[in-house]
DNA sequence: GCGTATATCTACTTGCAGGTAAGGCTACGG
DNA sequence: CCGTAGCCTTACCTGCAAGTAGATATACGC
C-alpha cells in the first residue's frame, strides 16, 4: 500500500531483502511493541509480501530474535570499537559511555527493541540481552577492579565492585531510556552526567569515603 | 479449574470481587506479559467467570490501566510514607531508597507490571508511569538543590541537578529490575549500593570535583 | 412472601493476525 | 532458445482470545 507510486523494486538478491525486512521489523517492533506489530505491517513497510518473510526469516518469533541478535551485535561492536584498552581506566569508561550513547542516539529504534521490547518478553529473547549485559558489567568491573587495586585495594571496596558495575550499567541503560524522551540533550552531556556520578562516586568508595546512615 | 475443591465463594460484594480480580490480573500480567495474559486465565485465577471482569472493570485495556494505577499509587504511598521531610536531605534520600526497594522486594509482581509491562506498552498506560517518575525526579531534585544551596551553590552543579536526579531515579529503577534477577541480595544492601554511588558522586559535584576527559 | 437489584454463570459470536498452499515470473547457464 | 532455480505474489485457512447475550440464582428491603 505504501509502495504504490515508487514502483516496487523487483527480484533483489536474498541478502538485500533480508536486510530490508530486518530494518522494517526493527522499526515496527520499536513503534508498536512485539505483539501489536503485525507481520502484515512489517511486510508492507519492507516492501515485500508476507510469505517472503516466512521464507527468509521464519516465524514471527524467529524474526524478532533475528532483530535482537543483529541490534545487540551492532551495539556491542560500536562500544567495543570506541574503546582503546591501552588507555587509563577512566578514559576507557568515558569512551565506552560516549560510544554507547552515540549509538543509542543514532539507533533509537534499535535500542527500543533491545531494551524495552526484548526485556519485557520473557523467554529466549532476553537471553541474548542478559548475556550482553553480563559482558558489559564484566568490562566495567574490570576497569573498577584495576583502578581499585592500583590505588591499594580496600577489601570493602573490591567486594562491591561487581554490584557497582551492575549499577553503572543499569544506570546507563536507564539513562538511555530516559534520554529517549528528552532528545534535546546532546549525547555528550548525557555521557558526562553519568561519568561524573559513576567515577566520582566510585572514587570516594576507593578512598573509603562511604556513606552510612548516621555518619 | 484451580477452584474446584475449595468451593467457590459465592455472591461477594463488588468491592471484594474487584480487589480479587485486580490481584489476579497483576499476577498474570506480571508472569505472562500484557498480550500473553488471557482474560480467561485472569478470571480463572481470580475465581470468577470472565463476564464479571467485563462487568466490573471493563475491557482488557481498562483492566490493565486499573492495575497500573493501583500499583503506582501503592508504590508512591509506600515511598512517601517512609520519608520524614524534616530530616536532613541525605537521610531523606536514604529512607526513600529503602522504602522503594522494600516495596519492590515485597511486591515483585506489582513492580514487574509497572516497570516492564507498562513501559513496553506505548500509549496511555505509560502516562501514569511517566507522571510518577516525574514526581520522583522532582523529589530527588529538591533534595539535591537544597543540599547544593546549603553548601554555597556552584552554578555548574545546580544546572545539573535535574539530570542527576533523573539519573538516580533511573538507576534505582534499573537496579530494582536487576534485583528481580538477583533476589538473594538483601534490600538493605541494594539500597546502600545506590546510596553510595549517588550521594558520594553528588557530593563531589557540589564540591566542584567533576571528572572531565584530560583532567 | 415478593419483587427488584445485583451477582453470577454457560455458551456463544467474531475478528484479527499468524501462518500456508500453490502457482507465476525473470534471469541465467547451457 | 529452454529449463531450472530461486524470487515473489495473491488468496486462502484457521485458531485463539476478546468480548457479549441472555438466563439464573440469591440477598435484602418492605
Nucleic strand C within 7 A of Cβ A11: yes
In A, minimum Cα distance to B196 occurs at A211
Taking the C-alpha atoms of residue B30 and residue B17, their distance in angstroms, rounded to an integer, is 20
Q: Which residues of B touch A192 (CB under 8 A)?
A: 212
Taking the C-alpha atoms of residue B59 and residue A185, their distance in angstroms, rounded to an integer, is 39
**CATH classification for the domain delimited by A68-206, as one of 2.60.40.10, 2.30.40.10, 1.10.357.10, 3.20.20.370:** 1.10.357.10
CATH 3.20.20.70 is the classification of domain B66-206: no
Residue ranges of domains in chain A: 14-58, 68-206
- B196 CA to D14 C1', in Å? 57
Phi, psi (deg, nearest 5) at residue B154: -110, 130
ipTM (interface pTM): 0.84
> Closest nucleotide (CA of B47 to C1')?
C8
Nucleic strand D within 7 A of Cβ B114: no
The CA distance from B115 to the nearest CA of chain A, in Å, is 9
Taking the C-alpha atoms of residue B198 and residue B194, their distance in angstroms, rounded to an integer, is 6
Q: Is A33 on the interface with B (CB under 8 A)?
A: yes
pLDDT in tens, chain B (215 residues): 333 333 456 789 899 999 999 999 999 999 999 999 999 999 999 999 999 999 999 999 999 999 999 999 999 999 999 999 999 999 999 999 999 999 999 999 999 888 888 888 766 677 788 888 888 888 899 988 888 887 766 666 666 788 888 889 988 988 888 888 788 989 999 999 899 888 888 887 778 788 888 75
Taking the C-alpha atoms of residue B96 and residue B214, their distance in angstroms, rounded to an integer, is 36
Taking the C-alpha atoms of residue A78 and residue A103, their distance in angstroms, rounded to an integer, is 7
Taking the C-alpha atoms of residue B215 and residue B212, their distance in angstroms, rounded to an integer, is 5
> What contacts B73, CB < 8 A, 6 or more positions away?
none
H/E stretch holding A80: helix A60-81
Among B120, B174, B204, beta carbon nearest to A171: B174
In the numeric block, the cell 488471557 is attached to: B38
- A166 CA to D23 C1', in Å? 58
A201:B204 CB<8 A: yes
Taking the C-alpha atoms of residue A58 and residue A202, their distance in angstroms, rounded to an integer, is 46
Q: Is A87 on the interface with B (CB under 8 A)?
A: no
Taking the C-alpha atoms of residue B18 and residue A202, their distance in angstroms, rounded to an integer, is 48
Three-state DSSP at B189 gives helix
Q: What is the pLDDT of residue B2?
A: 35
Among A209, A210, A211, beta carbon nearest to B90: A211
Please give the CATH topology (third level) of the domain spanning A14-58: Arc Repressor Mutant, subunit A (1.10.10)
A33:B121 CB<8 A: yes
Burial string for A182-192 (b: 16+ CB within 10 Å, else e) reads eeebebeebbb
- A5 CA to C28 C1', in Å? 29
> What contacts A93, CB < 8 A, 6 or more positions away?
A140, A143, A195, A198, A199
Q: Is B180 on the interface with A (CB under 8 A)?
A: no
Q: Which residues of A touch B210 (CB under 8 A)?
A: 196, 200
Count contacts between A and B (CB, < 8 Å): 137
Nucleic strand C within 7 A of Cβ A55: no
Continuous H helices in chain B: 14-32, 39-46, 50-57, 60-81, 89-106, 108-112, 119-120, 124-150, 155-180, 187-195, 201-206
Q: Is A109 on the interface with B (CB under 8 A)?
A: no
A90:B120 CB<8 A: no
B163:A31 CB<8 A: no
pLDDT in tens, chain A (215 residues): 333 333 456 789 999 999 999 999 999 999 999 999 999 999 999 999 999 999 999 999 999 999 999 999 999 999 999 999 999 999 999 999 999 999 999 999 999 888 888 888 766 677 788 888 888 888 899 988 888 887 766 666 666 788 888 888 988 988 888 888 788 989 999 999 899 888 888 887 778 788 888 75
Amino acid at each position: 500500500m505504501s509502495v504504490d507510486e515508487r514502483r516496487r523494486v523487483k527480484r533483489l538478491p536474498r541478502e538485500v531483502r533480508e536486510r530490508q525486512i530486518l530494518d522494517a521489523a526493527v522499526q515496527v517492533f520499536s513503534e508498536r511493541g512485539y505483539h501489536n506489530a503485525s507481520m502484515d505491517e512489517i511486510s508492507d513497510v519492507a516492501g515485500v509480501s508476507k510469505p517472503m518473510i516466512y521464507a527468509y526469516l521464519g516465524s514471527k518469533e524467529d524474526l524478532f530474535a533475528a532483530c535482537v541478535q543483529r541490534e545487540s551485535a551492532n551495539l556491542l561492536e560500536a562500544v567495543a570499537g570506541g574503546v582503546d584498552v591501552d588507555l587509563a581506566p577512566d578514559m576507557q569508561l568515558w569512551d565506552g559511555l560516549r560510544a554507547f550513547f552515540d549509538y543509542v542516539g543514532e539507533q533509537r529504534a534499535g535500542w527500543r527493541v533491545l531494551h524495552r521490547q526484548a526485556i519485557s518478553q520473557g523467554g529466549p529473547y532476553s537471553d541474548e540481552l542478559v548475556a550482553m549485559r553480563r559482558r558489559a558489567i564484566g568490562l566495567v568491573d574490570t576497569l573498577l577492579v584495576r583502578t581499585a587495586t592500583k590505588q591499594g585495594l580496600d577489601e570493602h571496596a573490591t567486594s562491591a565492585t561487581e554490584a557497582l558495575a551492575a549499577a553503572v550499567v543499569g544506570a546507563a541503560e536507564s539513562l538511555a531510556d530516559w534520554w529517549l524522551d528528552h532528545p534535546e540533550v546532546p549525547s555528550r552531556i548525557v555521557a558526562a552526567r553519568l561519568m561524573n556520578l559513576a567515577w566520582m562516586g566510585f572514587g570516594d568508595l576507593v578512598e573509603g569515603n562511604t556513606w552510612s546512615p548516621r555518619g
